[in-house]
Structure 1
Amino acid sequence: MLYRSAKLDERELAVLAEIEDLRVRLRFVLNEPHRWTGSLRRLSFARNIQGSNSIEGYDARLDDVAAVALGEEPLDSSTETRMALEGYRNAMTYVLQRADDQDFECSVSLLKSLHFMMTGYSLLNRPGRWRAGSIYVQREQTQEIMHEGADVDHVPGLMAELAAYVNDCADDELLVKAAMAHLNLVMIHPFRDGNGRMARCLQSLVLARNGILSPVFMSIEEYLGRNSQAYYDVLAQVGGGHWAPERSTTAWVRFTLTAHLRQASTLRRRVDDAERMWMGIERLVGAREERQLAALNDAAMGLRLRRATYLKIAAESGSTITEQTAGRDLKALVDAGYLEPHGEKRGRFYVATPTLREVWLGVRGSRAVRDDADPFAG
């Protein structure tokens, strides 16, 4: 028996309808060809990786995570953090690549494989294997036991049941089904390490299989990373300290619906920001190659640029260029007063000058006030 959601009430259905309205509008905008869409997708993916890993204590700057997402070395992150980011990138990339396949199914083997991709940098994590005994989640500050995973003898059967639930074509609300998959994996806690990351990856897998809007844009991992204490609290409330699938999951469903609503609102604002940013940069720098505009877009928002990441950004923009061309481009942007170089040789990176930063500050300063009221308050 797994945790199940109760029948949705009127308020929950109303929030779902609001999320769906935002999703449809976002799909319309994001499916149209825009020059800024590539940057938005790349940084959204990086924010998802950053959010999910920060919950587990693997903290990194957005530009370092974006570099890892592009297959490049980060500037500042520790070796362990880099490996954790790379593992999560690999697992999520596999999910995104396979989700559209007609024969793609969730299975115990798939879940173990994703876990291996995610945590295989250390054999101490038992990558790709169920845990060997009991497991407890403790509050870091006090060492108080917050949750005990399901009995180890029940793990194989519960995980098979969870895979079957993900494959079930019953007419469940997609966001609720994804949330319940996430909740069940966390509560079973089938692995020695990486259970939270696996649960969030599984939630994205469920979203990806629907195909309405890429989970790169529908994921709530960034929101969870920014609200990790509330995330921990609702899991503790619903779980009750041990595997108890008969407990009510209403608080969890409402938490995840609120997360989706707020994350969709954030993405809607970023779409508007991206369009205004691109126009503002074009007004500032005049006619430039698209790869240069995309790089200046990142720098204006405070990200550090390197030659290696510039080459990847250029490829994303449709330009296959040499390292020499990349170096000339960056020098031209420095000479024009838009970028400042720092460091030497392999450690060299570029940041926006105050002139370029003003474009982003102007966009951010002119945003409308966002309504972040609790949709379930009252």
Structure 2
Amino acid sequence: MTQALKIIPTALLEAYKKSFSTTVQQHFEELRESEISNENFSFYMSVSAVFSSKIEGEDIELDSFIKHKRLGVHYQPDYTQKIDDLYSAYEFAAAHVLTPENLLRAHALLTKNILHRSQQGTVRKGNMFVITDDGKMEYVAATPDKVAYEMQRLNDDIEVLLNSDLEFDEVLFYASMLHLVFVKIHPFEDGNGRTGRLLEKWFLAQKLGAKAWFIQSEKYYYNQHQTYYSNIRKLGLEYDDLNYNQALSFLQMLPQSVML
């Protein structure tokens, strides 16, 4: 890749490549859609929607959601609607090219029952803080005057990467970096984590093909959610002072998820 990136850090790329196991690509090539999937239902898309939602605290089980989507079992709307919305966003992403406009449309879909319509698919205009359950400040995101500019730089980098010839390990490196930089910008009022994980998978699918949707990264992140959040926190408390040299442990999680 010859064109310089604007916001995605590359300093860890060589260290990442040295730590990358060749068996990851072998496992990726062996991925197959589940036999219970059909033209109207994807098992692995359900896995993505359920476990990405569970990371955000949604109380739903994969078995129940599959019965709901595949067999038409009816539950109370509060139990399934947010996961239905995220599933729809994954379906949308699988059918569309990754562009800035489509990323906003995906966010609007997945926040249909989370945010007011005026905030769906709309970059925030207010300050954003991440607070722990016990009331401590965990992270201060990009200030409102910087969000649009930082997202433009990220979108420019996505375009460059989509048009670059990347090796398999480089695709996973940049997918994880897009995920991480996106959640650090924290461009929306809510739904940032869900959108960041979808962006990661979407980029993988654009570069590696539809098989990427079978990677159970969201399930892995949920099963390791304490480590997942710890690795994100390692970069620092405030957006302007983030140290992406501390990101290697986060970047190494995606290859591990391919091995599931």
TM interval, shorter chain, is: 0.7 to 0.9
Counterpart secondary structure, 1:192? coil
Distance between the aligned counterparts of 1:245 and 1:170, measured in 2? 29
Counterpart residue number, 1:95: 93
Counterpart secondary structure, 1:147? strand
Alpha-carbon spacing, 1:226–1:7, altered in 2? closer, same or farther (3 Å):
closer
Q: Residue 121 of structure 1 aligns to which amino acid in structure 2?
A: N
Alpha-carbon spacing, 1:189–1:81, altered in 2? closer, same or farther (3 Å):
farther
Counterpart residue number, 1:60: 60
Counterpart residue number, 1:296: none
- Shift of residue 217 of structure 1? 1.4
Alpha-carbon spacing, 1:68–1:244, altered in 2? closer, same or farther (3 Å):
farther
Alignment map for 1:227-242 (pairs within 5 Å) = 227-238=224-235, 240-242=236-238
Distance between the aligned counterparts of 1:71 and 1:184, measured in 2? 38
Q: Deviations over 1:77-125 (max 9, x none)?
A: x533422101101110011122xxxxx3411x22221111011224437
Distance between the aligned counterparts of 1:200 and 1:183, measured in 2? 9
- Shift of residue 52 of structure 1? 0.3
Counterpart secondary structure, 1:85? helix
Q: Deviations over 1:112-145 (max 9, x none)?
A: 21111011224437211112210100111x2111
Which of 110, 126, 132 pairs up with 1:133?
126
Counterpart residue number, 1:179: 176
Counterpart residue number, 1:244: 240
Distance between the aligned counterparts of 2:142 and 2:216, measured in 1? 27
Q: Residue 123 of structure 2 aligns to which amino acid in structure 1?
A: W
Alpha-carbon spacing, 1:237–1:74, altered in 2? closer, same or farther (3 Å):
farther
For the 8 Å contact 1:179–1:253, the answer to whether it is kept is no
Alpha-carbon spacing, 1:203–1:248, altered in 2? closer, same or farther (3 Å):
same
Distance between the aligned counterparts of 1:245 and 1:233, measured in 2? 17
For the 8 Å contact 1:53–1:85, the answer to whether it is kept is yes
For the 8 Å contact 2:82–2:111, the answer to whether it is kept is yes
Alpha-carbon spacing, 1:9–1:145, altered in 2? closer, same or farther (3 Å):
same
Counterpart residue number, 1:170: 164
Distance between the aligned counterparts of 2:107 and 2:26, measured in 1? 34
Q: 10-19 or 225-234, which moves further after superposition?
A: 10-19
Alpha-carbon spacing, 1:245–1:167, altered in 2? closer, same or farther (3 Å):
farther
Counterpart residue number, 1:302: none
- Shift of residue 218 of structure 1? 2.0
- Shift of residue 247 of structure 1? 1.5
Larger Rg: 1
Q: 189-198 or 213-222, which moves further after superposition?
A: 213-222
For the 8 Å contact 1:84–1:119, the answer to whether it is kept is yes
- Number of residue equivalences: 247
Q: Residue 231 of structure 2 aligns to which amino acid in structure 1?
A: V
For the 8 Å contact 2:13–2:173, the answer to whether it is kept is no
For the 8 Å contact 2:215–2:258, the answer to whether it is kept is yes
Alpha-carbon spacing, 1:38–1:149, altered in 2? closer, same or farther (3 Å):
same
Counterpart residue number, 2:258: 264
Distance between the aligned counterparts of 1:87 and 1:207, measured in 2? 21
Q: Residue 15 of structure 1 aligns to which amino acid in structure 2?
A: F
Which of 23, 35, 38 pairs up with 1:37?
35
Q: Residue 175 of structure 1 aligns to which amino acid in structure 2?
A: L
Counterpart secondary structure, 1:37? coil
Alpha-carbon spacing, 1:88–1:11, altered in 2? closer, same or farther (3 Å):
closer
Distance between the aligned counterparts of 1:158 and 1:144, measured in 2? 26
Higher-RCO chain (CA-CA 8 Å, sequence separation at least 6): 2
- Shift of residue 2 of structure 1? 2.3
What residue ranges of structure 2 are gaps of 5+ in the alignment? Answer: 1-5
Distance between the aligned counterparts of 1:73 and 1:5, measured in 2? 47
Which of 14, 18, 22 pairs up with 1:13?
18
For the 8 Å contact 2:114–2:190, the answer to whether it is kept is no
Could you tell me the TM-score, scaled by structure 2's length?
A: 0.84
Could you tell me the TM-score, scaled by structure 1's length?
A: 0.59
Counterpart residue number, 1:254: 249
Distance between the aligned counterparts of 2:92 and 2:68, measured in 1? 15
CA RMSD, 1 decimal: 2.6
